[in-house]
Amino acid sequence: MNLFRLLGDLSHLASIFILLHKIQTTRSCRGISFKTQALYVTVFVARYLDLFYRYVSLYNSVMKLFFIASSVYILYLMKYKYRPTNDPSIDTFRIEYLLGPCVLLSLIFNYKFSVTEVLWSFSIFLESVAILPQLFMLQRTGEAETITTHYLAALGVYRALYIPNWIYRYITEDGVVDPIAVTAGLVQTGLYIDFFYVYFTKVLQGQKFELPA
Amino acid sequence: PEEEKTHDEL
C-alpha cells in the first residue's frame, strides 16, 4: 500500500458516496447511466470472486465487499426505488460492443488460462470502458447536474492516482509491473481527459457543466 | 501446477 493507491481508493469510495448522495437528496437518478452502473456490478463481481478463496488484508476484503454491495444497491435504487426518474431512452450506448471485445481480450490476455484469472482480466478490461455509456449519455444530453460531475471527477481522480501508484511500485518493489492492469488503466484514465477539461474550465469555475452545441 | 497470481490491488 502506498499513498497514491490509498488516496485513489478513497477517491473511489468518495465517488460512490457522492453518487448515493445525489440520488438520495434529489430523489432522482436522472443523468446517471444504468448501463454503466450495471457494468460496474459485473466488474466487481467478476474481479472479487477471490474473496472466497484468498485473503489479502482486512482493508482489501472490506473494500471489495463495500464495492459489490454499494454497486448492487445503486442498481436497486435505479431499477426500483427511483425507477420513474430513470430514462432508458437516453441511455442508448450498445454495451454488447464493450462486452464482446472484453471477453475476447480476456481470453487472449490473462495471467493463467483459468476461470478466475480470465474473469479477473475480463473485469480489468471491462472496467476500463464501463464509463463509456455514462460519458455517451453526457455527450448526448450536453449537460449534467453539478453533483453528477463531481461523481465523475472523483472516479477519474481514482483512476489517475493509480498511475503514480504503479510507477511507485515499479521503483520500490523491484520492477514489479502488472501489464494488463497498467494498459487497461491508461486507457481508462484517457477516457476522462475530455471530461476533465470541461470540469476544470467550467464546473470548478462555478459554471454549469454544458458542452458546446 | 503454477500458482495463481495474487491481485492485491482493488
Nearest CA in chain A to B1: A112
Contact B4 A56 (CB under 8 A): no
**Does pLDDT of B5 surpass 90?**
no
DSSP codes joined into one string, A176-205: ---HHHHHHHHHHHHTTHHHHHHHHHTGGG
ipTM of this complex prediction, to 2 decimal places? 0.87
Q: Using CA of residue A88, residue A49, residue A181, residue A112, what is the dihedral sign?
A: negative
pLDDT for position B6: 86
Give residue A213's pLDDT: 76
Please give the pLDDT value at position A127: 98
What is the tens place of the pLDDT at every residue in A81-107?
999 999 999 999 999 999 999 999 999
Instruction: Say yes or no: A207 contacts chain B, CB-CB below 8 A.
Output: no
Q: What is the pLDDT of residue A17?
A: 98
Place of cell 448492487: A72
Whether the per-residue pLDDT at B1 is higher than 80: the answer is: no
Q: Which residue of B has its CA nearest to A123?
A: B10
Top residue of A2, A53, A54, A62 to mutate, by most chain B CBs within 10 Å, is: A54
Domains in chain A: boundaries: 3-210
Q: What pLDDT, on the 0 to 100 scale, is given for residue B3?
A: 65
Beta bridge partners of A163: none
Residues of chain A with pLDDT under 70: none
Grid cell listed for A208: 454549469
Catalogue the E-assigned strands of A76-152: 143-144
1-10 in chain B: CB under 8 A from chain A:
2, 4-10
Q: Is the Cβ pair B10, A64 closer than 8 Å?
A: yes
- Measure in Å the smallest separation between the Cα of A35 and chain B Cα atoms: 21
CA distance A32 to A135: 10
The residue among B3 and A116 whose pLDDT is bigger is A116
Optimal mutation site among B3, B4, B9, interface A, most CBs of chain A within 10 A: B9
Q: What pLDDT was estimated at residue B2?
A: 57
